Structure 1
C-alpha cells in the first residue's frame, strides 16, 4: 500500500509554549489508524498541524505526495482530507439533506462515490429525518450526520476526532459498525478516541502520544499483546 499521509518530525507551539516535539507517523492508503493518548498530550495539536490550522515550526507533512504543512486549510481539504470534528459542528439551521449536500463533491475521484442514497443506506435515520433541521436531531443522529457530511466530499482520508464522545453505548456501537463498513470499502481512516479495546478490532495501526512525542506505535495485534502500554498511556 502507498503512504497517503506522512508526518515527519513535526514541532508545533502556541507562542512560547511548545506542544509537539519531533512527532512522526504514517498512514497508508486503505488503512485504519488511530492516535491514542490522554487529554492534553498533543492529539488535537497534531490534528491542527495536519489540517493547516496551527503552523508547523519544523518538520514536514506530506499528503497525496504533496507537502502540505504550509498550505491553507481549504486547499488541504480540496486535496481530499475531511474531518468529523469533536462536537460534530453540524449546521443547526439547515435540514439534514442540506447539511449533506452543502460540501458534496468527489475529491478522491472515486469510481463509486458517496451519494445521498448511499449515505441513507449507511445511516437510515438520516433518510427518515431528511427534512428535519440539524438542531432537531439527537446527539447520535448529529454524529451520523457529521460523518455523512464528511463522506459526501468523497475524501481520500477521513478523520474522526472523538467520534463516540458523549454517545450512548448503543449509539457508539452504531458508529463502530459504520467504521467497520467504511474499512471494508477501503476508506482510509484516522480515528482519535479513547475506547482502545473496541478500536483493536477496527484499526490496523496505532500511534500512542505522550507529552507531544510518540510513546509507542504498532499493530492491533501488538497492542492487544501489551495491555500495559494502553493502560499506562491511555487508561484513566
Structure 2
C-alpha cells in the first residue's frame, strides 16, 4: 500500500534522511522505532508532504505522491495523529471531530460521530468541552478520533502513547488492536516495545536517518540486546 524508495529529506542544508526504504502492506500494523532525533518524525512528515523529499519516491496505493501537497495526501486517504496531538484547543470536542471529517471509507461501517463516541465514551461525555480543557490522554483519544473521522486507508500515529498514564496507554493499544482486527492499515511510532510487539506485523528501526534494522517480531525477539542496541539512551 505504501512504499518509500531511497527517500532523502533535508531541513535547509541539513540532511536528515539518507535513503529510507520502507514498505507497508494493506491491513498490516508496522512500527517505526529508534532513539530520539534519528529521523522518525521526519519520515512521517515526508510521507505527509509537510517536509518534502529531496530525492527518492513515495508511492501510496500505486500512485506516486512524492511531490503532492499535504492536503492532497490527506484526501488520498492518509491520516496523521501527530506528535503532541495538536488538537484545536479553542474548538469543542465535537467541533474537533467534525472539522476534517470525510466519508472516503473503502469498507463498510464508515467512521462518524456515533462510531467514534462508541469507541471513546469519554469524548461523548465531553463533547461540548473545549479541547484545551481535556487531559493529555483525552486529547490523544480526540486526536485519534479526529484522524479516524477522515475515514483513512492508512492511519499514522507519531508517538502514539508518549507521556500517557499506564491505564490510558493500555486503552490506546486496545483501540489499535481493534482497528487492526477491522483491517485498518497502520504505521505506529512509539517507545513501548512490548505493546507494539503484540500487534506488529513488521518492524523498522531508524538510526541516523537510515533503516538500520528490519524484521518481524520473531526476528526482533531473536536479536541479542535489541532494545539496548537500537532504542537505549
Instruction: Report the equivalent of 1:185.
Output: 182
Verify: 1:127 aligned to 2:127, yes or no.
no
Verify: 1:165 aligned to 2:193, yes or no.
no
Instruction: Report the equivalent of 2:171.
Output: 174
The CA deviation string for residues 25-82 of structure 1, in whole angstroms up to 9 with x for no partner, is 1000100001100011111111111111112121100011110110111000000000
Give, in angstroms, the shift of residue 227 of structure 1. Answer: 4.8
Instruction: Report the equivalent of 1:23.
Output: 20
Instruction: Report the equivalent of 2:34.
Output: 37
The CA deviation string for residues 137-189 of structure 1, in whole angstroms up to 9 with x for no partner, is 11111110000000000000100001211111111111111111111111000
Q: Does the aligned pair in 2 maintain the 1:10–1:60 contact within 8 Å? A: yes
Gaps of 5+ in 2: none
Verify: 1:47 aligned to 2:44, yes or no.
yes
Q: Does the aligned pair in 2 maintain the 1:34–1:207 contact within 8 Å? A: yes
How far, CA to CA, are the matches of 2:188 and 2:119 in structure 1? 19
Q: Secondary structure at the match of 1:56?
A: coil
TM-score by length of 1: 0.96
Verify: 1:149 aligned to 2:163, yes or no.
no
Q: Secondary structure at the match of 1:232?
A: helix
TM-score by length of 2: 0.97
How far, CA to CA, are the matches of 1:79 and 1:110 in structure 2? 15
Q: Does the aligned pair in 1 maintain the 2:16–2:208 contact within 8 Å? A: yes
How far, CA to CA, are the matches of 2:18 and 2:222 in structure 1? 28
Q: Secondary structure at the match of 1:173?
A: helix
How far, CA to CA, are the matches of 1:227 and 1:182 in structure 2? 31
Give, in angstroms, the shift of residue 196 of structure 1. Answer: 1.0
Seen in structure 2, the aligned counterparts of structure 1 residues 227 and 120 have a Cα distance that, compared at 3 Å, is farther
> Which residue of 119, 133, 139 maps to 1:136?
133
Instruction: Report the equivalent of 2:232.
Output: 235
Instruction: Report the equivalent of 2:109.
Output: 112
How far, CA to CA, are the matches of 1:108 and 1:8 in structure 2? 27
Give, in angstroms, the shift of residue 117 of structure 1. Answer: 1.0
Q: Within 5 Å, which residues of 2 pair with 1:185-204?
A: 185-204=182-201
Q: Does the aligned pair in 2 maintain the 1:12–1:49 contact within 8 Å? A: yes
